[in-house]
Chain A
Amino acid sequence: MALLQSASRVVVSSIVVAIAATLSIQWLSHWAADSARTERHLIEFQSALNEMNAIEWRAISLHSFDEETSEAYSRVRGRASQLLGSISAGGSNAGGVLDSGYRHYLGVLDREFSLIDRGLVDQAIEVDENEVDPAFVELSQDIGEAAIARRSESERVGTLASYGTSISLLLAAVVIGWMFTRFTVLRKRQTRQLATAMEDLRQTQAQLVQSAKLAALGQLIAGIAHEINSPLGAIRAAAGNGDAALHSSLRDLPELAESIDAPTRRQFFAMVDDALKRPPLVTSAERRPVMRALSRKLEEAGIANARSIADLLVDIGVRAPFDRVMPLLQHPSRDRLLKLAYDLTRLNENNHTILSAVERAAKVVFALKNYARVEHDSEVQRFDLRATIDTVLELYRNQIKQGVELRCNFENLPSLEGHPDELVQLWTNLVNNALHALQGSGRITIDALRRDDEVVVSITDDGPGIPEAVRSRIFEPFFSTKPRGEGTGLGLHICREVVARHDGTIEVDSRPGQTTFRVCLPVPASTADAGGAPVALAA
């Protein structure tokens, strides 16, 4: 566009120069002498041709034969035909030659204009270079020759001075015309080269965008593979373990009934029942102190292989106080009893593992569905920005109430154009992150204000901040600092996508005690100010 604009500026100023030259030539030639009328007409004819040439250049550079150009063209064309008529009537012998040259020139020029009008600019430029320009040059030469042929007559009719003046003016007009043609040819070539360069650039850019998209997609697929395959692995293993536990316990239970005394049986089932009632210890941090205490207790009781047995007991789900299980550990059938207890409790535990793994995989798929929606929903609509923020605050009201103070400063919020659902998703992710950072207590401040032709929404929390090391990666897909299962790692990536789709920007500013996500969104030009006093809310 910039190229076309500057090209058209050049054209317009060239036309002005050409017209000014023509006008001054006309004025001077009037002054020269009536007797040199024919020469004057030749000069004017030449300047009309120059003007046509300028009009042609304008049409080519603008890629259009618009109404304005068309009007200018028919006006100049009318004047040129009139002048040619006067030249023939003035008794010039060259009238016939000029007439046929002029007709030829008009013919090829009309063809070029019709090509431009149909959008076939490249073909038009070809016609221009191969036919229009040569016709123009030939016609200009004919005009020059006609003027020279007039010399003898002029010598008879006019003074030497007027003859000299008109001849030099005529030559000047021819030179201007010729120079202008050269100039336009050069410009046209340059324009075409630039257009080609622009096209190349556009294609390269499209390729870059495409490869960036593919890279993001590759990253996404790699992430999905891991996020889905891990729970799948756990499910497969837990299903196998459950199967093994069931068969093993079915084999061992009858033996227990037959060979173990009643008090030991009661102790055994009390231990299993107790273990099943309490949630299992899952993390190392939870398991380790129990393990150590139990291990020490077993060593004190002189039980061999204390560490291994302690670990097995923790896996069964045994917790302090351990006194109730000690008699079982002294029993001669201890190993069989513990194995059966392990099988029975693991039956239950493997089911839990399968359920939690399925939930995790479902969470990943759900996040992906949301993510996919960001890519494909296409209906643009006008919506109230304030309403999208309020929706999210409503959704999070319960969580915000518990120990978190919320401050809202909304002023002068306009309506925007875009996808309100996506903005709800954007605020959801940002508020969710802020709440996560606060770990239950702190303050969230939401500022939303109009700044010239954009609206700035800042969401600030006074949590511990984002470590410098990860700050540059937080917008990457599947990057998460939250514990496994809590975050999908897609939240901020989706935020960035949503903001980009609304032609906005998102940036983060973080230090301990103050983390701000700042979203700038453009306000459509036609939006009227939806005024309003600042609103402060506290929840």
Chain B
Amino acid sequence: MSRSAILCVDDEIAVLSSLKEQLRRRFGDRYLYETAASAEEAWALIDELAEDGIGILMIISDWLMPGVKGDEFLAQVHDAHPTVMTVMLTGQVEPLAIERAQREANLLACIHKPWNEGELLDLVGASLG
């Protein structure tokens, strides 16, 4: 029974829906797959999952989103939940933001859109073990 989740954060629904499907096809019901369209929505979800006793293993987040940007969001998450693994999946990102996420959010990797399915899923699989 899966009591841990992978959370995807992106302001583009088409990205969320296709990314979630990729994860589900590769990892089946080993994990729960959650999606949020902004950092704000992601925080609400993280709290809700915690209430249900579901832990988050990994967050895959876009960088350029309305409101809080990816690097800042991941740093905040890392601050509150240091064990959560973080990946950035973005169409464009400033080098400084990657540096910050590496420094403050223990960023596993930054993958650029349009992403390669194998590369992303292999990374997720290898990291989650």
Contacts and interface: CB of A to CB of B under 8 A. Distances in A.
Interface string A221-251: 0110111111111111110110010000000
Nearest to B49: A307
A133 interface: no
Contacts of A308: 1-2, 29, 32
Interface string A256-300: 000000000000000000000000001110000000000000000
Of A230, A283, A484, the most chain B CB neighbours within 10 A belong to A230
Contacts of B18: 234, 237-238, 241, 350, 353
Given A222-B92, A353-B18, A241 B25 contact: yes
Interface string B1-39: 110000000111111011111101100010011011100
A237 B32 contact: no
A260 to B, nearest CB: 21
Interface residues of A, number: 39
Contacts, number: 108
B17 A349 contact: yes
A224 B20 CA distance: 25
A305 B2 contact: yes
B interface, size bucket: 35 or more
Given A225-B92, A226-B90, A237 B13 contact: no
Interface string B79-110: 00000000001111010000000000000000
Given A226-B90, A304-B1, A307-B32, A283 B37 contact: yes
A244 B1 CA distance: 25
B41 interface: yes
A227 B112 CA distance: 13
B114 to A, nearest CB: 4
B91 A481 contact: no
Contacts of B41: 284
- The dominant DSSP class at the B interface is mixed
B37 A237 contact: no
A466 interface: no
A357 B90 contact: no
Nearest to A349: B17
Contact of B14 (A228, A229, A238, A284): A238
B91 A282 contact: no
Given A226-B64, A230-B15, A283-B13, A244 B114 contact: no
B22 A282 contact: no
A252 B66 CA distance: 42
25 contacts: A222-B92, A222-B94, A229-B92, A229-B112, A232-B113, A233-B115, A234-B12, A234-B18, A237-B18, A237-B21, A237-B115, A238-B17, A241-B21, A283-B13, A283-B37, A284-B35, A304-B1, A305-B1, A307-B2, A308-B2, A308-B29, A311-B33, A360-B14, A480-B66, A484-B12
Given A230-B15, A230-B113, A233-B15, 13 more contacts: A223-B92, A228-B91, A229-B114, A230-B62, A234-B18, A236-B114, A238-B17, A304-B1, A308-B32, A311-B32, A315-B20, A349-B17, A484-B13
